[in-house]
Amino acid sequence: MIIENPVTPSERVKGLKQAIDRKGYARILEAHNGLSGIIAESVQVEKNGETLEYDGIWESSLTDSASKGMPDASIVGNDSRIHTIDEILKVTSKPMVVDGDTGGEPAQFEYLVRHLERLGVSAVIIEDKIYPKRNSLDAKANQDLEDPYSFAEKIQAGKEVAISDDFLVISRLESLISGAGVADALNRAEQYIMAGTDGIMIHSNKTDPREILEFAQAYKGLCSRLGRRPILVSVPTTYNTLSDADLVANGFNLIIHANHMLRAAYKAMTEVAATILTGGSSLDADSVCAPVSNVFATVGFDRITQKDRERAETRRLLNGKTNEPAIVSGSRN
């Protein structure tokens, strides 16, 4: 928990760039509340003599909305989103990247950037679709793209109000989602790079990664021509036959595993609820539930009870000293 690993907002903002500068890439995991944030921050795996962990946290519009029982259709407002973001930031220390949907109007985006940066968020990603957006993973939804020049103005507005160069404004390209193709995505990328974007996220809802890899290859030439290379971002939810190492080898600097924590929680909760109904008690569900003691330890309750015991012992010792007879020096009149 953050109480044990304190970090200031300004230190946290720098964290994403530092991770990318250090390794060439960063890998982050979705969180939709404080508990999932603690897990995303703290989980570690030993593999081939190396300790693997995530470099940061993704605060997703989809999973934030779904955790509130709402569809991902620009229904949950910024105030509610900020509440969730702050909830996660309070109990974690690693950098956070926020899904900013379309960003709204330029003036709205300016306020969002200022607010997120003040909280300690490292980056915001906004997508070039028309408000109100529809989730990109729904193949049946209309995916209408915003005019690239208007979107570029929004990027410029966000960059102008950011206080630190460490806070990143990243442009999410929806050309492949809408069916406009790789050429349209490259044209939009050029406009957004010229507008000052800090990163380009190319998105796809196909299982075949060929368009993603085609874009990544062409991106090298585009950036070389423009003389500037913003970081390249991937969200391999559908094309996860590509490993993280494959994506890094193809030039991606930020890899976002974007909704797996909520999807796992949904599946587990549904199965446990049905198991209790079927068995007539919660006995059969115990085997797939974490012990309460594990939850206590994860959220820091053990720390509180330990402090309670230490304070009680201190009070006992002080009270014992108070009850000892006072020693008076000097003569009495």
Could you tell me how many residues make up the chain?
333
Do the bridges between strand 254-257 and strand 168-173 make them parallel or antiparallel, or are there none, so unpaired?
unpaired
Residue 59: helix, strand or coil by DSSP?
strand
Q: How far is CA 221 from CA 20, 211, 251, 283, in A?
A: 21, 16, 12, 60
- Yes or no: say if 113 and 161 are a contact pair by the CB < 8 Å rule: yes
What region does 48 belong to: left with phi over 0, alpha with psi -120 to 50, or beta? left
Two tokens, residue 72: 């991902």
> Of 55, 64, 72, 166, which is the active-site residue?
72
3-state secondary structure of 179: coil
Question: Hey, what are 52's tokens?
Answer: 């693997």
Question: Is residue 99 flagged as an active site residue?
Answer: no
- Give the Cα separation of 260 and 139 in Å (integer): 19
Tokens of 245: 């190492």
What amino acid occupies position 332?
Answer: R
Q: What string of DSSP letters covers 33-57?
A: SHHHHHHHHH-EEEETTEEEE-SEE
Measured distance CA(54)–CA(71) in Å, rounded:
27
262 contacts: CB under 8 Å, gap ≥ 6: 30, 32, 36, 60, 62, 63, 66, 67
Which residues are the active-site residues? 72
